[in-house]
Amino acid sequence: AQSVAQPEDQVNVAEGNPLTVKCTYSVSGNPYLFWYVQYPNRGLQFLLKYITGDNLVKGSYGFEAEFNKSQTSFHLKKPSALVSDSALYFCAVRDTDKLIFGTGTRLQVFP
């Protein structure tokens, strides 16, 4: 079965510093991977996806993710964090015609 794991419940970072939110995956076949963000009292919003091609995927709000096949990872990154990036982040993997989500990582960016 397809699955993703987010090993950190929370990540704290100072504004202006780079941020990384970790995700590892377990799939049979080629992985289709996604990142979503959830702001307070809102639904999830799509950030970016990896289907095939370049290992560095660029998405919304200046976020990017690096696909690493040897480490089975798909970490979300941003060069310079903003306070407004504080939210809950979910990694997901496609499983036939549905998505399997990780448990989420809360990102706190401090001024």
Contact residues toward other proteins (CB under 8 A) are 9, 32, 34, 41-46, 49, 51-52, 90, 94, 96-104
When the beta carbons of 49 and 77 are compared against other proteins, the nearer one is 49
Radius of gyration of the chain from Cα atoms? Answer: 13
Least distance to other proteins from the beta carbon of 32, Å? 6
Cα 99 to Cα 80: distance, rounded to the nearest angstrom: 29
Least distance to other proteins from the beta carbon of 41, Å? 8
When the beta carbons of 9 and 70 are compared against other proteins, the nearer one is 9
Question: Which position has the token pair 């989500």?
Answer: 101
Question: Which position has the token pair 């290992």?
Answer: 55
